[in-house]
Amino acid sequence: MSQRITLRTNTQKYINFYVDENAHEQRIDNFLFRQYKKVPKSRIYRLLRSRNVKVNKKRVNHLYKLQCGDVINLPNIIEQQCVTTNHKPSEKVIQLLVNRIIYEDDDLLIINKPSGIATHGGSGISFGVIELLRAARPNAKSLELVHRLDRETSGVLVIAKKRSILRTLHEQIRNHQIKKQYLLLVRGQWRDKLRKINYSLHKNCLRGGERVVAVADDGKKALTIFRLRSNFVDATLLEAELGTGRTHQIRVHAAAVGYPIAGDKKYGDKTYNKMVQQLGLQRLFLHASVISFTLPNGKVMNVQAPLDEELKNVLAKLRKIN
């Protein structure tokens, strides 16, 4: 499961965390408990009581509820838990991402993220997209992720080059003004041209020793709008639009209504996954295809990321079977 924040640095006495929509409305003490699982809770509470934790340069207590776009600043209480590497990413991997840049100007950098690369380092991952792009653009001092994609998901990913742009886009995320569309291949024959799924989701549920996201009445509200694109033999190509941005939202909602995504090892159907492997699918068939937002100068951005060749080839084979 991805972390909720982006780690800015780990080589100084203080650390900044940039909060995205997944941590919106979460209490700061609970947020820090999850980031520092090996640190005694008493130590974190001591930091909060001593007013050594700041949000947006203001001191807060343990009851503060995080907002998307907040910047948390606190002492580096457990450096070994952060991403630490003594080596640099390979030029080959850096060039792979550079070749997938689909838009860049003085304010933004937008890539078509490949499947298999995390958005940021952590949890045993030395380098994610943001670390690789910082290595590729050493003169861009303020590169920050605007949002995230699951490691297995490909597609359009937006990186801000300026804090002002990051704040603007985070505000649009909070106000549900950013439009995100995904393409996904699911098991079975989906019949509805349009279907809204609004099951609430709960994170960190244990299933067979693994932490997953699950449908739960006491979870956070989540809305996904599915639209039918193409029917195949025992498979359907769907378009999904996010009404909210919960972790694994599309994957869980699709599986919950009986249409798991092809290649999904966490929420999918093992037998079906083996079948689509024979068509050449070696990954999750979930692709962030379009993102739309407005820049501070009023310019409307509508960026599309084309499907990778592997996904195109799978669809071509399904059309032949039809």
Q: What is the pLDDT of residues 160-182, one digit of tens each?
A: 998 889 889 988 988 889 999 99
Q: Name residue 254's amino acid.
A: A
Look at residue 91 in the predicted model and tell me its pLDDT. Answer: 86
Query: What DSSP line would sit under 87-130, residue for residue?
Result: SPPPHHHHHHHHTTEEEE-SSEEEEEEPTT--SS-BTTBS--HH
Contact present, 6 and 145 (Cβ < 8 Å) = yes
Q: What is the pLDDT of residues 85-111, one digit of tens each?
A: 446 778 888 999 999 999 999 999 999
Active site residue 264: no
| Tokens 């947006």 found at | 56
**Is the pLDDT reported for residue 50 higher than 60?**
yes
- How far apart (Å, rounded) are the C-alpha atoms in residues 281 and 276? 6
Look at residue 102 in the predicted model and tell me its pLDDT. Answer: 96
Report the mean per-residue pLDDT for the chain: 86
Q: What is the pLDDT of residues 108-164, one digit of tens each?
A: 999 999 999 988 765 455 678 988 998 899 888 788 899 999 999 999 999 999 888
Catalytic residue among 20, 107, 150, 269: 150
Q: Which domains does the chain have, with CATH numbers?
A: 5-81 (3.10.290.10), 91-174 (3.30.2350.10), 179-321 (3.30.2350.10)
Contact present, 238 and 227 (Cβ < 8 Å) = yes
**Is the pLDDT reported for residue 11 higher than 50?**
no
Sort residue 35 into left (φ over 0), alpha (ψ -120 to 50) or beta.
alpha
Q: Is the dihedral of CA 66, 69, 75, 76 positive or negative?
A: positive
Confidence (pTM): 0.76
Contact present, 223 and 258 (Cβ < 8 Å) = no
